[in-house]
């Protein structure tokens, strides 16, 4: 059988342009993390030290170790790199083995009978990018760095939420593989369901040493075995598993996984094996035209879904540091927030097996971008061959995972071509269209016909329409964050919102760690350095000014209100779009996570702390959601009996019907109930029920608001929706009054007045502490207990100081 020798230890790193000092190197790893471990560079995540290490990405670096001498009884020995970042020459005792130029591929070299000093010499990715640019010509992009000219994680070059840390190194495992006669070079598993049975067709490619003696391959799955013989280097074995248990996304059923085992035999016995887990399910993408435009609805096992999604970026600017446990923890956070779809964004990487394994187990659907984002990509060599090679390898690598349900050609590049001035600048030069509408769909169709492909996000399905037309296909809603108020999310009903979001700073403890010694202010040097979006703080300020009177010079208040505004903005979008199911079939929040401590659109910050938005997602993405929306023409705040209809939407994504009695109250901000009613509401499974608010309950003016309450039949906390017809700055809130008491493992707050959006910032109690909920609005006399984990020394005074809520203007 094939034998494997890991090459993890014994590596050194040296810089040939410097002193030649050898440093111990970690493999997998990268130059930055090795220099950090040696104390030779500051931590680029702290303060403004990112700028102090910019030189690292512009130098040549060399990794070395001894390759073990001989000793194998096998005919062949291969040196295998699962990932090299990015442009490298591999030598053995000074003799070239090969050159590579793609972070997204693996590499294999025949080193049979060889030993000696193994050298991996990395050139600067900048040098490679500039050389390619010189050969193919300029191409426009959203950022000035040359990421579109090299097949590397684009956000290494910086983004509007990420640092510029251009890495190099052996970022995935490396090993020696010893084998004889033949080895399994590739297995392409086509997993389908037909008439209640699971069907697995394994297309097997082998590599031989010499000769063409017949080979046998035996496969097993779910207690079923099959065997096939082939003479050459390719063959197929097919299995049918009766009465298979279906794999479902979380919230729709269970996630049974089946072991698939394949063994290769020659005349003397087993020579190689391949094992993976898979799940049986069907997936379709319904893009049928209808009265509203062109749909974009995922259908799993025949069930049409409203996708409750988040966008995923690399969880660390240095991806080699992300462990299996860290992937699991972050994805468990996503699942606990009600997420059922994770979009792997195109400026990052094809994630590791650890990521997809966790998604398989947690029932998280994966939308996988090919790595193209926000730039015109040349289609000439050497890039075209690299793109095809990486696509073919990664499509096959990820095929076993039932969580993977969609391939997407790119992020925002058709939109950029049409709207961002690229088309005239290109003057007919290639820009990636041949990849997204030609090469990539062909690779998916040939290798993985069991999954749908879409050419881009956003993409309306045809050049006859604008690429980002909300009525057709996927839509990215960024005009709101960039230029408008978040209330404008309610002005249209896109078919599928694949990106939208609102910024907020990270948790207070994260900022304190990242900016040691700095007096925090919205415009302090470190805070501004950890804000990478163009005019990001200006947009935060303008977004706040539409709703709140913000006191100058009060950082703590600014921090609370910006985090609250993020909650309000995302809620405005998701509540509206979910209430319009099935016309709108998904929302994918930008973004779940961060790769370093930064002000961004994330729900979980760069230190892994859950921002208030994270807790709001738990409410917004729950199976049952109560919200208030306006339908029709006119202005709902103009007065009762005129204007638009005010409607309570009961969104039921559960498998059971939801029958409840709504309690509607028109309430004054001083706590008086001005009118109330208790209409019945019935929402069938996977539907939305609408109940019109009686005219006498529609709030008039800034002194009134609507409260809608309902019971959760699943036994959870009662559901509540609030409708305030005015901005907070115009509402005559009473001065908030509430009592605070310590509770077992938490804090209890009892309201004496209306208390709007009460938030306990638990990390102000202890950097390791976290709360179990985000902002909560209390009516007079209501009480809430906020659970706190990780608070070592509970203190009532500290608890009071960590509580924030909306206060009256002035």
* Strand locations in 441-577 (E): 453-454, 474-477, 496-500
Please choose, from the candidates 570, 262, 586, the residue with its C-alpha nearest in 3D space to the C-alpha of residue 405.
586
Q: Which two tokens stand for residue 172?
A: 């995935």
User: Crossing angle of helices 612-620/555-578, nearest 10°?
Assistant: 20
The CA distance from 650 to 659, in Å, is 10
Q: Is position 75 annotated as part of the catalytic site?
A: no
The CA distance from 550 to 558, in Å, is 7
Q: Which two tokens stand for residue 425?
A: 């600048």
Q: Is the separation of the CB atoms in 539 and 483 below 8 Å?
A: no
**CB-based contacts of 523: which residues, under 8 Å, 6+ apart?**
537
- φ and ψ at residue 385, rounded to 5 degrees: -65, -35
The CA distance from 615 to 606, in Å, is 16
Bridging pattern class, strands 803-804 and 755-760: antiparallel
Of the residues 412, 499, 610, 704, only one is catalytic, namely 412
The CA distance from 576 to 490, in Å, is 6
DSSP state of 400: T
- CB neighbours (10 Å) of residue 207? 15
Please choose, from the candidates 198, 338, 203, 223, the residue with its C-alpha nearest in 3D space to the C-alpha of residue 278.
198
Q: Is the separation of the CB atoms in 534 and 478 below 8 Å?
A: no
91, containing H or E segment: strand 87-92
Alpha helix (H) residue ranges in 38-175: 125-136
The CA distance from 396 to 419, in Å, is 34
The CA distance from 613 to 11, in Å, is 43
- Find where tokens 């990478």 sit: 532
Rounded to the nearest 10 degrees, how much is the dihedral formed by the CA atoms of 274, 275, 280, 281?
-80
The β-bridge partners of 68 are: none
Please choose, from the candidates 676, 686, 707, the residue with its C-alpha nearest in 3D space to the C-alpha of residue 777.
707
Please choose, from the candidates 630, 497, 637, 502, the residue with its C-alpha nearest in 3D space to the C-alpha of residue 571.
502
3-state helix, strand, coil in the chain (%, to 5): 25, 35, 45
- CB neighbours (10 Å) of residue 63? 25
The β-bridge partners of 411 are: 373, 457
Rg (CA), the chain: 28
* Coil vs helix vs strand at 711: coil
Please report, in angstroms and rounded to a whole number, the separation of the first and last CA atoms in the chain: 77
- Within the chain, how many helices (H) and strands (E) appear? 16, 46
* Coil vs helix vs strand at 271: strand
Q: Point out the residues that are catalytic.
A: 412
């Amino acid at each position: 059988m094939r034998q494997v020798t890991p090459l993890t230890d014994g590596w050194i790193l040296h810089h040939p342009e410097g002193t030649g000092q050898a440093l111990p190197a970690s493999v997998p790893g990268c130059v930055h993390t090795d220099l950090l471990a040696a104390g030779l560079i500051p931590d680029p995540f702290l303060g403004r030290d990112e700028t102090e290490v910019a030189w690292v990405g512009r130098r040549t670096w060399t990794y070395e170790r001894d390759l073990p001498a001989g000793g194998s009884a096998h005919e062949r020995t291969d040196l295998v790199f699962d990932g090299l970042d990015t442009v490298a020459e591999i030598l053995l005792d000074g003799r070239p083995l090969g050159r590579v130029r793609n972070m997204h591929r693996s590499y294999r070299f025949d080193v049979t009978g060889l030993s000696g000093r193994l050298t991996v010499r990395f050139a600067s990715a900048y040098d490679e990018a500039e050389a390619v640019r010189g050969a193919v010509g300029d191409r426009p992009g959203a950022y000035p760095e040359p990421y579109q000219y090299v097949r590397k994680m684009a956000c290494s070059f910086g983004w509007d939420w990420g640092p510029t840390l251009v890495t190099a190194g052996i970022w995935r495992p490396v090993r020696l593989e010893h084998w004889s006669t033949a080895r399994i070079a590739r297995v392409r598993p086509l997993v389908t369901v037909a008439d209640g049975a699971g069907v697995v067709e394994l297309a097997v490619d082998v590599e031989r040493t010499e000769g063409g003696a017949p080979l046998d391959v035996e496969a097993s799955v779910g207690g079923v075995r099959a065997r096939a013989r082939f003479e050459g280097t390719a063959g197929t074995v097919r299995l049918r598993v009766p009465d298979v248990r279906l794999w479902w996304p979380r919230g729709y059923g269970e996630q049974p996984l089946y072991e698939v085992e394949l063994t290769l035999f020659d005349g003397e016995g087993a020579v190689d094996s391949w094992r993976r887990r898979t799940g049986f399910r069907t997936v379709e993408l319904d893009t049928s035209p209808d009265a509203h435009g062109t749909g974009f609805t995922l259908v799993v096992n025949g069930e049409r879904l409203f996708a409750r999604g988040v966008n995923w970026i690399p969880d660390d600017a240095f991806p080699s540091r992300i462990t299996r446990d860290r992937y699991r923890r972050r994805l468990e956070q996503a699942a606990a927030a009600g997420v059922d779809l994770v979009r792997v964004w195109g400026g990052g990487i094809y994630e590791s097996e650890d990521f997809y394994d966790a998604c398989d187990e947690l029932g998280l659907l994966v939308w996988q971008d090919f790595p193209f984002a926000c730039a015109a990509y040349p289609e000439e060599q050497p890039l075209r061959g690299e793109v095809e090679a990486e696509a073919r390898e990664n499509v096959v690598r990820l095929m076993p995972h039932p969580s993977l349900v969609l391939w997407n050609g790119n992020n925002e590049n058709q939109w950029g071509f049409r709207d961002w001035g690229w088309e005239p600048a290109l003057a007919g030069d290639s820009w990636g269209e041949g990849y997204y509408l030609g090469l990539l769909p062909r690779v998916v169709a040939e290798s993985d016909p069991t999954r749908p492909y879409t050419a881009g996000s956003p993409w309306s399905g045809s050049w006859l329409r604008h690429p980002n037309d909300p009525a057709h296909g996927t839509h990215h809603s960024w005009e709101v964050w960039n230029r408008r108020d978040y209330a404008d999310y309610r002005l249209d009903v896109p078919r599928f919102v694949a990106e939208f979001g609102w910024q907020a700073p990270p948790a207070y403890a994260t900022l304190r760690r990242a900016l040691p010694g700095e007096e925090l202010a919205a415009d302090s040097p470190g805070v501004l350095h950890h804000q990478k979006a163009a005019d990001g703080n200006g947009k935060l300020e303008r977004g706040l000014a539409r709703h709140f009177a913000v006191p100058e010079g009060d950082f703590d208040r600014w921090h609370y209100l910006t985090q609250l505004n993020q909650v309000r903005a995302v809620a405005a979008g998701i509540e509206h779009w979910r209430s319009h199911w099935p016309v709108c079939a998904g929302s994918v929040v930008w973004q779940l996570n961060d790769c370093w401590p930064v002000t961004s659109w994330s729900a979980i910050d760069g230190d892994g702390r859950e921002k208030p938005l994270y807790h709001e997602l738990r409410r917004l993405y729950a199976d049952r959601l109560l919200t208030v929306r306006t339908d029709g023409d006119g202005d709902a705040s103009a007065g009762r009996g005129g204007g638009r209809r005010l409607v309570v939407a009961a969104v039921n994504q559960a498998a059971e019907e939801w029958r409840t009695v709504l309690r509607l109250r028109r309430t004054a901000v001083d706590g008086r109930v001005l009118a109330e009613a208790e209409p019945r509401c019935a929402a069938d499974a996977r539907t939305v029920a609408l109940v019109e608010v009686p005219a006498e309950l529609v709030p008039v003016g800034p002194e009134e608001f609507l409260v809608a309450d309902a019971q959760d039949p699943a036994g959870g906390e009662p559901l509540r929706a609030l409708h305030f017809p005015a901005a907070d700055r115009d509402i005559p809130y009473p001065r908030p009054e509430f009592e605070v008491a310590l509770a077992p493992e938490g804090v209890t707050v009892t309201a004496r007045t209306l208390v709007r959006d009460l938030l306990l910032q638990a990390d102000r109690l202890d950097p390791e502490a976290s709360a179990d909920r985000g902002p909560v609005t209390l009516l007079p006399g209501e009480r809430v207990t906020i659970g706190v984990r990780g608070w070592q020394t509970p203190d009532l005074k500290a608890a009071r100081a960590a509580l924030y809520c909306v206060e009256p203007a002035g």
